[in-house]
Chain A
Amino acid sequence: MAIDTTSTRAVTTRGSGQRRAATPASEHRVRLRGRIFTYIAMSVFGIIFMFPLVFMFVSSLKPDAQILQDVDSPMAFVPAGDISLDNYFGVFDRVPVAQFLFNSIFITVLTVGLGLIVNSMAGFALSRLRWKGRAVVMAMVIATLIVPFETIAVPMVYWVAQLPTLVIEGGLLKYDFGWLNTYEVQIVPFVANAFSIFLFAQYFSTIPTSLDEAARIDGASWFTIYRRILVPLSGPAFATVAILTFLPAWNQYLWPLMVVQKEELRPVMVGMQYFFQLNTAWGEVMAYTSLITLPVLIVFLIFQRAFVSSIAASGVKG
């Protein structure tokens, strides 16, 4: 959205080009110097932002002894010498990476997917429908925005440990207490999100209500209007919310650390702990961190424009 200024940019560059012909040579030199300075500054920052990650990927390909040796020279950033995927094989031997990756993907997809449904419906109810108590509910939703998760994390462990749940035991559906060590404890609490509701409500309110009225006359129910009219028209809002909820879901750490002790249910971030036993094998650690960073990085690079405009959209509403 706001980031995409290519069209206006083209116009103004052409304009400044015309002006440049008329400006004295000295001013032209000043502008050129400014450009060179900007490029140098951006490149310096670029190096600062990239070197740790380049170091991580390069080190994941080297044996430990060579990593330590290369640290003292620019070789730390060059994938040369004894290069292999041994560290990656080592990672798969040491921990159930495939299981961790599956858990994280499963948890992330469900959290984001259910969140899109639940929060867009709530946004619809708050922005499109007139009902008693709407103002109160809206105020409460906004009020929940100011509660940082960290403040309720510890009491919430106590709370979810007492929630009722259904379990299948010996072929029978039984009633039990305690959500610890489950998938649902990692998903359900994060589905409803006040900020997502808010973004949906904002977006829906920009769509003309004449569409609803026409559909009402044709006898459509409110849910049909939501499903058939609002949802298909709100692609950008869905993309924004998906992106904004995807990263925190994938990066969950504090919460699963507290509520999941079973290895087979742990997400990738918590799985990291297995590498910090007696002797840290840094090559393997770098391989593991590369492994869990690459999927997100690839998704980001593909949808780079959408990511950036989603983040920008989150700020405009502040």
Chain B
Amino acid sequence: MLEESQKSDLLYRVNWPGIIAGLFTIALPFLGMWWQFELGTGAVVMALSPFGVESSIFGESVSSPLFLWITLGLKLAVVYLGVLLLTGSVLSVSNSHTATAELFVRFSARKLSWLVVAFVAGLLIFIVLANQLPEMVGLPFQLELPYLIGTSTLSAGVEGMHLTIPIVMNFTQAFGIAVVTAALGIVAWLYQKKTFIS
């Protein structure tokens, strides 16, 4: 009876949302880009995530070495957070390592949600600025980029010449997984708080 109670207590002490969130966090950098932007049908393509940038102009790949290295750093950092979250969630069962487990989960659980929010906020700021740009510098056209998702058409013309460029933006499935993982991270953080404070 006592053994069963101990077993159920151990199961209760394991931070299950943390384990799932940790595994997803480790996998996330390898699931692909979060957001895609396309001018025309492949004229300019930009796929972004905090873990990588893929861009091409008329099929010619364009990249910034600094961006590539920063995204590699973020990739490694997020894998590290995932490992911490996973370790902390499992380590919670050990009485002697409760403080370390608490530290690991507290440090890692909410970071991904910050990253998701920062990514979306960064994109929004970029789009707002891009939409204001033609007016600010006096260009002869109006830019109406959709806000994060959607399609629009950029039209510009001078006498005898008219340019029409379709614009498409959308989030990918990987972004959906990132949002779910970030939410799970918050749940793991709350679970840890509730379980070890009570």
- Do the two shown chains form a genuine complex with each other? no
| B interface residues with partner A (beta carbon < 8 Å) | none
Q: A-side interface residues toward B, CB under 8 Å?
A: none
